[in-house]
Structure 1
Amino acid sequence: MALGLAALSGGAAFAAGPTAEQALKLQPIQPDVEFQRPGAEQIAQCTIAAEKIGNATGWVVTGANGERLRVFLDTNDDKKVDQWSYFKDGVEVYRDVDSDFNGKADQYRWLGMAGTRWGVDVDEDGKIDGWKMISAEEVSSELVEAAKTGDVDRFLSLIPTQEELKSLGLTGQRAKDITDKVANSEEAFVAWARAQKAIDKSTNWVHFGATRPGIVPAGTEGVSQDLIVYENAIAVLETDGQHGQVELGTLVRIGDTWRLIGAPSGSAGSADVATAPQGSFFSVSYNGASSAVPGNVGMGAEMQQLLDQLEKIDQQMAQATSPQQREQLAMQRIDVIKKVIGAAKDPEMRENWIKQLADALSGGIQTGELTQGIGQLQALADDIEKQVPKSDLAAYVRFREMSAAYTQQFTDPKADYTKIQEAWLGKLEGFIDTYPKSADAAEAMMQLAIAHEFAGEEEDAKKWYARIRSDFSGSTLGDKAEGAIRRLDAVGKPYVLRGTTVDGKKLDTSTLKGKVVLIQYWATWCEPCIEDMKTIRELQAKYGARGFQPVGVSLDSGEAEVRQFLTANRLPWPQLYEDGGLDSPYALDMGVLTLPTMILIGKDGTVISRGLHISQLDDELGKLIK
């Protein structure tokens, strides 16, 4: 591993420059990565060149068709590679990261369509010790992989740490029960892994199965804050052509990760898995026939054959190299999903597969993968509205049809953007009238509010924000709408920002009265934000001694990226960060919708501007600081 990483990280190698062939020999540290691997004949057509990407420099390997294959970056200008990125179809799917710049990777990230996993390797031995980000679906897959070899450490990385357990805010007997279950999970996993016979090294994870996640509200016995959980979830697996399943039990969301509460129970592959509800928070029976991705050993032969076809198509799509191949396979997949819907006997199972069909069509159209399909999606939406009018399912399908049709119109080079936008806003209002309480109605209202705000129609925007706040109180969008109203009404009112900086210091802007404070909301992926920092640095040098104090608020999705950026770009002003990205507490508090966003606070602590452009900052400071 070390030699593979060092091949492009040594100072001499970096200066001399590797060949494309040498660069393509490097492999991801983690084994389960699907990335583009050119054949021997194709390698000769690949090129490698030194490039500057943002504030980093490094080597970019390009394929014969101009698509990126690898990017190896030096992000801290020490002439050594500390970020190794691997691509598929021109999209980054995986990244090894050396965040402490010692020549060894200590973080591993799956990106793009490869998923959301973000692993941390504390001792830099190539094995993941914990997760900064992982979905419930990925937890179920990791559990199956751990069971294949009885890998206790891999299993334990899916269990909450003591700090994470404390963050759940559990009290009394509830806290004791959950803590005991977690404490006994290592012993329970070892016993279960030895006893189970259904999972071996040839077993493949197929799907995650569960009813929709539920909220355990604050005030429930032993629960002091809202918790989002899955109860009696399962992992559907396949061994030698036969489908089985493993009962996962309870999963709870903690920040950007999902965690297992204890070891699996029951016999892996058993047909009666999860038929006896035993939830940690509430009982939900799941028998594999009522999830978004159903499957169990008791299913009919027709259904199992269809699921096998889907698996095969998914594998083929992962290997497809041309847009034509991907579209052909995507249409085949859609045809099979339609057959699954026809074969589904359980109403909830059928509904979830209909949602999958709508998602597959809408997603493919919006990404451009499907040049055809809008007609099928419109027909599906019309059909569902006739079958179950004004239902949640009808709203779900219709909103995705609307979104796909809206996006597709912009591919026409002769498109009249003004007319398209006007029609879209009308459709959103019509959708809200028809489905006012559906989950997608909140998103429709938010899009209307944003459109009005960006058009300068702030009173209309506030009406929609207020309705979201009222109709969807307690939801993320409800909180964001409340913050947006606060931001729009902020000028002339006091505003205080409090938190702990990235370097562990307490920050309270109320202690900065007498200074002009600039709050810059930014992210490492926002190039204009990074450019703005150069001007802020210059203006701090000009006005800092006379009372100008910038404060940064990162809205990145991961703290490691923020720390890595700040290590490479030393900024002489405090930086705040909390998990959640554009849904983090800082973003929600002021309803920050786009980046960059900057708020200027006067010496008396009241807001002077809540939408300042960087080009205006010097003039504003000149007026405020004499």
Structure 2
Amino acid sequence: MRRRLLSCGVLGAGLLSLSAGTLRSEGPTPEFVFSKFVPRQRDVEIETPKPTEYAKCTVKPEKLGKGSAWLVTGQNGQVLRRFVDTNNDDTVDQWRYYNNGIEVYREIDSNFNEKPDQFRWLNTGGSRWGIDSNEDKNIDAWKVLSAEEASRVAVNALLANDADMLRLVLITAEDLAQLKIEDSVQKQMLANVSNPAAKLRDVLSKTKSLTPKSRWMRFDAASAMPSMIPADDGKAAGDLLLYENAMAIIETEAAPPRNSLLVQIGEIVKIGDVWKLTQIPLPIEGNQVQLSAGVLMQPGQSGAGDVPAAANPGANADPRVAALVKQLQELDGKAPTADASPAAFVKFNSDRATVLKQLISATAKDPKDQENWIRQLIDGLTSAVQTGAYEGGLDQLKLLETQLKSQLKAGSPLASYIGYRRMLAEYSVAVQTAKTSAAQAKAQEEWIKDLQGFVETHPKAEDAPDAMIQLATGLEFAGKAGEARKWFAQLAEDHPKTTAGRKAVGAMTRLDVKGKPLPLAFAGLDGGKVDIRNYRDKAVLVVFWATWCKPCFEDLPKLKALYQQYRTQGFEVIGVNLDNTPNGVKGYMQQNGMTWPQIHEAGGLESPPSLAFGVISLPTMFLVDKKGNVHSRPASIEDVKAALPEALELKMSTATK
């Protein structure tokens, strides 16, 4: 029987055989497997035993469908590796790697020449699918790449200063041609991603926080769901699916709480099964803030036929407007970097406001487009004030509000729009300048009064649901549950179809559920449905949590200790995970020893389970007694520990004895 190792590090012919349908050969040792075979791609999290544990692992042949494999298991019987011969030619053509017994990564030799040409991340490892057409161990193109994973690849490229890796997730001329993007928009987008190697070096030369040891943690976006730009908007021949302002959250080497950093991913677009970036990722450090929308989400100026000037300048568009749009885009492309002086940020925001005011003046004959530019000016000033990047922004907002009041017709939605954002800006300034706890309490008190005044004056405004949920939430956090309940009820009645309205209904359920059955029946993370009614005669702690929630993580040791102490006496835990997607949740649970059942439905804090109880902070907990009624809403694990004996009726049992 022959045994050989290919030069590329692949398990070779003779290690697997299915002659006559049977496996033969003694097989490799665990030490040989773990020392010789590792994933060819970076950013793969797999379970690998320590050298001192090799002797407790096993390698054995197995029949696998029409093929055969060497199965590598750990000391507890968990699968660690599986090397598969799918076509019975005595040569491995799939290398499968596992974490916590689940396959998370696979290398595939699809043309059976003993060299892998495809790399796939699976299950809790994600959904990436890379192609290595020249079989040099480097991915040449992505076949499948989610928005979340595109941000992860981009960050990895940034941390490694790898321009080739970054190019694979940047939009190309071929991508834009496939999407049939208008020529003028293509030009701007390609300019944003041109010369990535130089731009990458420039970003890294200015960052003070990123190091090779930093790591991607999660994807975030201004909206919980992607946006659809319809074909008739004029920017492309077909519909466009994108995230307008995507971010990646990075863990750095700094000490908490300064160990997290935002990296702006920007506008990210879906092309087939792959999401691509339309700009170089940019760390947001110090005073840096990028106020511009992406190229595709810039409001267009319309002329005859409603053709946006941004997509077709010079055709049915005012040349002055087209020139100003170009000037704005060029200004946004030169936004100050993280190490710029405060004066540079003031100048940038001031210049941007000036151009937007000129656009507002130039579109006076087109009320719809003029309103778009007014809103962008308002949003830009508000964002600059909130981030502390434009000290004079609040004064400009107040002046603009005064000017608009004299020009707007009665009932114009712009009046409430700018009024609400001026309030947001004022509250941000008050919080930023509050140096004492008394000043902070005063700022919160004024904020509550402003919110109440806004919703009473503008009960039907587009921002009314957000203002009401902020008002009710603020009152609840202040310990004024009765007043909070009143506003939750008003919000549910006035805006029942909004997300805030649905959350308000859930909040009332949460506030009033003590002594009543908990209406908890949702999809399980492992499939099926988790229904608390199936846990009668047990005391159940329901915990709403997420992998990104630090207090949830810090509570785990105490929660696991309680679970072990009381489980034999009828104590159970049901987790309700509020991550946006299930990717990585199972791995997190296994890593942290969370063995209880889990509910998960897509949407994170706006998912059906979260809305059903109006969850506003994590962790949120309910302790349900053995009769199936809510015993209490613990605020901490210490509260759970104190209430658990009563919920389990342990005191009653002791008294009976």
TM-score, structure 2 normalization: 0.58
2:582 to 559, 575, 587: 559
What SS class does the counterpart of residue 393 from structure 1 fall into?
helix
Are positions 1:326 and 2:345 aligned together? yes
What SS class does the counterpart of residue 552 from structure 1 fall into?
strand
The AA in structure 1 aligned to 2:370 is R
Task: State the match for 2:620 in structure 1.
Answer: 597
Q: C-alpha distance in 2, partners of 1:248/1:260?
A: 11
Are positions 1:397 and 2:418 aligned together? yes
What SS class does the counterpart of residue 100 from structure 1 fall into?
strand
1:428-451 residue CA offsets vs partner (Å, 9 max, x unmatched): 122122211011111111121112
Task: State the match for 1:308 in structure 2.
Answer: 326
Task: State the match for 1:436 in structure 2.
Answer: 459
The change in CA–CA distance for 1:471 and 1:492 in structure 2 (over 3 A counts) is same
Contact 1:134 1:258 in 2 (8 A): no
> How far did residue 464 of structure 1 move?
0.5
1:79-128 residue CA offsets vs partner (Å, 9 max, x unmatched): xxxxxxxxxxxxxxxxxxx99267998679xxxxxxxxx99423464515
> How far did residue 558 of structure 1 move?
2.6
The change in CA–CA distance for 1:11 and 1:132 in structure 2 (over 3 A counts) is closer
Are positions 1:545 and 2:568 aligned together? yes
Q: C-alpha distance in 2, partners of 1:197/1:596?
A: 47
> How far did residue 397 of structure 1 move?
1.0
Are positions 1:248 and 2:248 aligned together? no
1:333-357 residue CA offsets vs partner (Å, 9 max, x unmatched): 2221111111113111110111111
Contact 2:346 2:390 in 1 (8 A): yes
Q: C-alpha distance in 2, partners of 1:201/1:230?
A: 16
The change in CA–CA distance for 1:7 and 1:384 in structure 2 (over 3 A counts) is closer
Q: Provide the identity percentage.
A: 30
> How far did residue 401 of structure 1 move?
0.8
Contact 1:248 1:260 in 2 (8 A): no
> How far did residue 394 of structure 1 move?
1.2
Are positions 1:129 and 2:148 aligned together? no
1:385-408 residue CA offsets vs partner (Å, 9 max, x unmatched): 222244211111111111011111
Contact 1:442 1:468 in 2 (8 A): yes
1:446 to 454, 461, 469: 469
Q: C-alpha distance in 2, partners of 1:486/1:131?
A: 36
Contact 1:445 1:468 in 2 (8 A): yes
Q: Highest CA radius of gyration, 1 or 2? A: 2
1:116-159 residue CA offsets vs partner (Å, 9 max, x unmatched): xx994234645151535699xxxxxx9x987822689xx6xxxx
The change in CA–CA distance for 1:570 and 1:373 in structure 2 (over 3 A counts) is same
Q: C-alpha distance in 1, partners of 2:591/2:552?
A: 16
Q: C-alpha distance in 2, partners of 1:450/1:601?
A: 24
The change in CA–CA distance for 1:148 and 1:252 in structure 2 (over 3 A counts) is closer
Task: State the match for 1:204 in structure 2.
Answer: 189
Contact 1:234 1:248 in 2 (8 A): no
What SS class does the counterpart of residue 556 from structure 1 fall into?
coil
Q: C-alpha distance in 1, partners of 2:537/2:597?
A: 18
Contact 1:501 1:577 in 2 (8 A): yes
The change in CA–CA distance for 1:248 and 1:396 in structure 2 (over 3 A counts) is farther
Are positions 1:510 and 2:533 aligned together? yes
Q: C-alpha distance in 1, partners of 2:44/2:531?
A: 44
> How far did residue 597 of structure 1 move?
0.6
Q: C-alpha distance in 1, partners of 2:496/2:269?
A: 24
Task: State the match for 1:54 in structure 2.
Answer: none
Contact 2:105 2:120 in 1 (8 A): no
Are positions 1:368 and 2:393 aligned together? no
What SS class does the counterpart of residue 437 from structure 1 fall into?
coil
Q: C-alpha distance in 2, partners of 1:5/1:465?
A: 50
The change in CA–CA distance for 1:3 and 1:614 in structure 2 (over 3 A counts) is closer
The AA in structure 1 aligned to 2:173 is K
The AA in structure 2 aligned to 1:311 is Q
Are positions 1:378 and 2:368 aligned together? no
The change in CA–CA distance for 1:522 and 1:338 in structure 2 (over 3 A counts) is same
What SS class does the counterpart of residue 595 from structure 2 fall into?
coil
The change in CA–CA distance for 1:530 and 1:11 in structure 2 (over 3 A counts) is closer
What SS class does the counterpart of residue 204 from structure 1 fall into?
helix
> How far did residue 5 of structure 1 move?
5.4
1:539-573 residue CA offsets vs partner (Å, 9 max, x unmatched): 11001111111011111123214244234333110
Contact 1:364 1:370 in 2 (8 A): yes
Task: State the match for 1:349 in structure 2.
Answer: 369
Q: C-alpha distance in 2, partners of 1:258/1:608?
A: 48
1:238-271 residue CA offsets vs partner (Å, 9 max, x unmatched): xxxxxxx433348699xx9998999xxxxxx9xx
Give the aligned CA root-mean-square deviation in angstroms: 4.5
Q: C-alpha distance in 2, partners of 1:134/1:384?
A: 43
The AA in structure 2 aligned to 1:410 is V
Q: C-alpha distance in 2, partners of 1:604/1:7?
A: 48
2:104 to 100, 106, 117: 100
Q: C-alpha distance in 2, partners of 1:121/1:10?
A: 15
Q: Point out where structure 1 has 5 or more consecutive residues left out of the alignment.
A: 16-75, 79-97, 109-117, 136-141, 156-188, 208-226, 236-244, 263-268, 278-284
Q: C-alpha distance in 2, partners of 1:276/1:121?
A: 43
1:149 to 152, 174, 194: 174
> How far did residue 6 of structure 1 move?
4.5
Contact 1:549 1:573 in 2 (8 A): yes
Q: Point out where structure 2 has 5 or more consecutive residues left out of the alignment.
A: 1-37, 52-98, 108-117, 132-138, 151-166, 193-225, 247-267, 274-295, 651-657
Contact 1:487 1:591 in 2 (8 A): yes
Query: What pairs up with 1:407-426 in 2 under 5 angstroms?
Result: 407-414=428-435, 416-426=439-449
